[in-house]
Structure 1
Amino acid sequence: MAAPALADVKAGVDAWSRGDYAMAVREWVGPAEQGDPDAQFNLAQAYRLGRGVDADQAQAEALYARAAAQGHIKAADNYGLILFQKGEREKAMPYIEGAAMRGDPRAQYLLGIAYFNGDLVEKDWRRAYALTSLANSTGLPQARGALAQMDDFIPLADRQAAQTLAAEIKAKAEATRARELAAVDLALASETAAPRNLPTPPSSSKPGVDYPTRSPSDPKATIVARAEPPAPARTAPEAVATPPKVSPPPAAIAQTPTRASGSWKIQLGAFGVPGNADKLWDKLASRSEVAGRQKVKEPAGRLTKLLAGGYATRDEAAAACASLKRSGQDCLVTQ
């Protein structure tokens, strides 16, 4: 079934490019039901924008979630933003962090505010200013307003130090995104549309945040990200995923002896070439975060997911994942 499914996804991409959205949707439905992550992502885009089908945000969310679970980067980025807008911020944060570390300005804006407020992450005003500056550099209006607010609270020395940190984050994000896109072997078209699906700024002198009434020295100063998304733009072309010619991953799940038997795992990557999962494990196996844990290779459509398993609690898995991220290795907590 693999070859016909890939052909259908490609036919859908061609139809989408011609503006025949209904035909594109028809081509993607079958592969999406069979578990193809590109088809699921593309179909989610169609439901989100209402192209070829009636707009259905719940259906889009479900499809993004299914593709994200298979390691689809763009799907994971969009899914995290949807969760955040729904108020499921704790569940969204791992996706937001991953997207921000890949350079997504929408996620950088939200994560920057989280670091400013100390909301679900440890308060870090330098990192907050660095991330928000990166989002602002893309022209994101919400980031501009948030940055203006931060100027009233963050000392000049920290703002200056944040510029160096922003350059480091940007360089690491570019490398991370290139590495992850190569790892999943997905040929994604570049998305030229302006950033969207962000909290809508209020009408005020400083859009995008609640104007604080506290003095700049008050440590309880907060910036609030709005949670009402604007209507999606319908004129700019959307990215759709074109499937590469790859072999399906093996059905077997390989595991190594474990030092724990918990149900929580850390997803380390998703690969079109199963051998690349083994190479990454060999690279990380000696690190304290994963040493002695289960090596789990799960088939996911035509990809192979690599996970470290055996964490007793979500907090334990999240701590290990956070440590890996600090060293440049992206990951995702799952169960």
Structure 2
Amino acid sequence: MRGRRMNKVLIAVALALASGSAPAQTVKAGIDAWQKNDPARAVSIWKPLADKGDADAQFNLGQAYKLGRGVQLDLAAAQGWFERSARQGHADAQTSLGLMLFQNGNRIAGMRWLKTAAEGGEARAMLVYGTALFNGDGVPQDQILAYAFVSRAAAQGLAPAKDTLTQMDGALPLGARQRGVAMAQAMAAARPPGGVVPAGKEGKAIAARKVPPAPVATAAAPPLPHPAAAPVVAGGKWRIQLGAFSQRASADALMRRLANTVLHDRIAYFVPAGSVLRLQVGPYASKAQADSTCAALARAGTACFAVPER
């Protein structure tokens, strides 16, 4: 009898375990998969969460579609996911959506989203919107407010913002700069920087691609730091991908901006992919060499990833 009762207990436990649902996947689990170079798994984790309205998952899914990692590259889908996340107040999504709209010619809507993200303290948006304010490019010119936004972006460690702030320092008198600093301090006190933790740290969103704005009109932008470049190897089988663009002019503009960086002796490739062009640069002898270049560019505010030559 005792043995029969024990068997019943074991069977009941087994049935309970079998009927129990698997632990729910989290956005962080998707980030872990992304960092382990398994973007398809990351997307499979984020998609149901995004469908249920998770803003971080929606933003990450937008990034995946924008980069063509784990899914087929689809800028329309990327924009759609960015917008769903942005409407929930996700600052990185607001910035990415604003930049995408702006670069595709919808400057009014793009600047509106960038302004929203800048007011929320997102560094890239503050740099882009601040530069527009300084130049009066699509918005009423306000150089003191521009200085405030760019100061805050520089204080968050955004390297291109530091370069832009140096240009503004040379263009504005001391009194105007002091008013800008005071305004930046008041803005920060009223609404501290938000946003999400980049990939690689405990957080819920993968790192957004940093897109510096056009240089301030009053002075030439100083060249970015020039890390030692790996020698070009004939027949190298690796490249880095800097993004996908619906217009060739946008890709050309990015290459011009990076002309004096570690890419100065590399070849640009414009690879058709449906309705967009993938901007790739190379060649590199190994994935490690390509990854090293991306690391150097990331320190200067430009994201990329290694891809095999096809």
Shorter-chain-normalised TM-score: which range?
Answer: 0.5 to 0.7
Aligned mates of 2:159, 2:32 — CA distance in 1? 33
Do the aligned partners of 2:127 and 2:161 also contact (CA within 8 Å) in 1? yes
Aligned mates of 2:105, 2:62 — CA distance in 1? 20
Q: Which residue of 1 aligns with 2:194?
A: 177
Determine whether 1:92 maps to 2:106: no
Aligned mates of 2:33, 2:25 — CA distance in 1? 10
Q: Which residue of 1 aligns with 2:221?
A: 206
Q: Which residue of 1 aligns with 2:79?
A: 61
Q: Structure 1: which amino acid aligns with 2:191?
A: A
Aligned mates of 1:24, 1:40 — CA distance in 2? 12
Which one of 112, 119, 126 corresponds to residue 108 of structure 1?
126
Larger Rg: 2
Q: How many residues align structurally?
A: 206
Do the aligned partners of 1:15 and 1:23 also contact (CA within 8 Å) in 2? yes
Determine whether 1:151 maps to 2:176: no
Relative CO higher for 1 or 2, CA cutoff 8 Å, sep ≥ 6?
Answer: 1
Do the aligned partners of 1:142 and 1:201 also contact (CA within 8 Å) in 2? no
Question: How far 1:201 sits from its partner (Å)?
Answer: 6.2
Aligned mates of 1:161, 1:32 — CA distance in 2? 42
Secondary structure at 2:171 match in 1: coil
Question: How far 1:158 sits from its partner (Å)?
Answer: 0.8
Cα deviation, 1:209-268, whole Å, max 9, x if unaligned, reads xxxxxxxxxxxxxxxxx96457699768xxxxxxxxxxxxxxxxxxxxxxxxxxxxxxxx
Q: Where does structure 1 differ by over 6 angstroms across 4 or more consecutive aligned residues?
A: 230-236
Aligned mates of 1:38, 1:157 — CA distance in 2? 41
Which one of 62, 81, 90 corresponds to residue 44 of structure 1?
62
Residues 20, 70 of structure 1: alpha-carbon distance in 2 compared, 3 angstrom cutoff: same
Q: Structure 1: which amino acid aligns with 2:127?
A: Y
Matches within 5 A, 1:273-288: none
Determine whether 1:137 maps to 2:162: no
Question: How far 1:46 sits from its partner (Å)?
Answer: 1.6
Do the aligned partners of 1:133 and 1:143 also contact (CA within 8 Å) in 2? yes
Do the aligned partners of 2:65 and 2:77 also contact (CA within 8 Å) in 1? yes
Aligned mates of 2:206, 2:111 — CA distance in 1? 25
Q: Which TM-score applies when normalising by structure 2? A: 0.53
Residues 193, 68 of structure 1: alpha-carbon distance in 2 compared, 3 angstrom cutoff: closer
Cα deviation, 1:171-222, whole Å, max 9, x if unaligned, reads 2331x739xx9xxxxxx817695861334769x95248xxxxxxxxxxxxxx
Aligned mates of 1:190, 1:26 — CA distance in 2? 15
Aligned mates of 1:194, 1:98 — CA distance in 2? 17
Cα deviation, 1:129-150, whole Å, max 9, x if unaligned, reads 1222222334434334433433
Question: How far 1:162 sits from its partner (Å)?
Answer: 1.6
Which one of 200, 203, 222 corresponds to residue 189 of structure 1?
203
Q: Which runs of 5+ in 1 are unaligned?
A: 182-187, 209-225, 237-335
Aligned mates of 1:111, 1:157 — CA distance in 2? 22
Secondary structure at 1:52 match in 2: coil
Question: How far 1:152 sits from its partner (Å)?
Answer: 4.1
Q: Which residue of 2 aligns with 1:160?
A: 178
Residues 88, 190 of structure 1: alpha-carbon distance in 2 compared, 3 angstrom cutoff: same
Cα deviation, 1:55-108, whole Å, max 9, x if unaligned, reads 433321221112223444432232122222223221022211221122222111
Q: Which residue of 1 aligns with 2:267?
A: none
Secondary structure at 2:151 match in 1: helix
Q: Structure 2: which amino acid aligns with 1:7?
A: A
Q: Identity over the aligned pairs, expressed in percent?
A: 40
Question: How far 1:35 sits from its partner (Å)?
Answer: 5.1
Residues 229, 172 of structure 1: alpha-carbon distance in 2 compared, 3 angstrom cutoff: farther
Do the aligned partners of 1:105 and 1:134 also contact (CA within 8 Å) in 2? yes
Do the aligned partners of 1:141 and 1:207 also contact (CA within 8 Å) in 2? no
Secondary structure at 1:206 match in 2: coil
Question: How far 1:47 sits from its partner (Å)?
Answer: 2.0
More helix by share: 2
Aligned mates of 2:208, 2:70 — CA distance in 1? 21
Do the aligned partners of 1:198 and 1:229 also contact (CA within 8 Å) in 2? no
Determine whether 1:74 maps to 2:92: yes
Secondary structure at 2:24 match in 1: helix
Do the aligned partners of 1:142 and 1:207 also contact (CA within 8 Å) in 2? no
Aligned mates of 2:119, 2:130 — CA distance in 1? 12
Q: Structure 2: which amino acid aligns with 1:177?
A: G
Q: Which TM-score applies when normalising by structure 1? A: 0.50
Question: How far 1:18 sits from its partner (Å)?
Answer: 4.3
| CA RMSD, 1 decimal | 3.9
